[in-house]
Chains A and B, each alone.
Chain A
C-alpha cells in the first residue's frame, strides 16, 4: 500500500535562512509522481513543485528545490532564502502511474514557521 510519511509535524526557520522538510513514501511502483503542496492559513492548496520518478534530475522552482532519492524513497523540500510568506503547512503527495487517474496520497503535513 502507498503511504507518505512526514516525520516533522512542525519546523521553524529564521527569515532568509534555508530549511529542509522531509518526506518518505512507500510504493512498489517504479514510475510515479511526487509533489509538494503549500497550505497557508486560508487553507487553499497551492502546488509548489513536482517531480517525475523517472527523472534523475532534482526539480527546482525558484527558491524551492527537492532532493529526490529514489532508492531510499525520500523526497525532501528545500526552501532557500525563507520569507515570511512561506509560513504554511506543507504537504508531500504521491501519485501512482498515469493509468491510475492521479489518486493522490498525502502526508500528514509539516507546519513551517518563519521567524522575522
Chain B
C-alpha cells in the first residue's frame, strides 16, 4: 500500500537553529498538508499546499515557517529559527482529492533544546 514517508523520524535541534522536515507524498497525490501535535494536545493544522502554492495556512504558520516542493516529489517544512515551543510531532499528509481522508506520514518528532 502506498505510503507517505517522513524523514527524519526524530530530530533534536538547538533553539534558534533552522530545521527542515522532509516528506515524500504518495506519487499521484495533488494536495499536501502539514500538521503538528504538541505532546498531549490536539493535532493542529499548519498549512495546505496545492499546485505549487499555499492554499491555506493557520495562525501558527507565521513567518518562521515555510513550505516547498523543490523537485516534484519532496515536500518540505522549514522552521527558520526554532523555539522551545516548536517541540512537537509534525505530520505530513497527502490526498488525491479533496473528498477523501488524508494519508498521513509516520511523523517527525522535533525536540528543541
Contact = CB atoms under 8 A, between A and B. Distances in A.
Interface of A: 33, 35, 37, 42-47, 50, 52, 91, 93, 98-109
A37 B104 CA distance: 10
Interface of B: 31, 33, 35, 37, 41-45, 48, 50, 55-56, 89, 91, 93, 95, 98-107, 109
A98 B98 contact: yes
B104 A104 contact: no
Contacts of B100: 50
Given A43-B89, A101-B50, A109 B42 contact: yes
A98 B56 contact: no
A2 B101 CA distance: 18
A102 B104 contact: no
Nearest to A107: B42
A47 B101 contact: yes
A45 B43 contact: yes
Nearest to A34: B101
Contact of A106 (B42, B48, B99, B107): B42
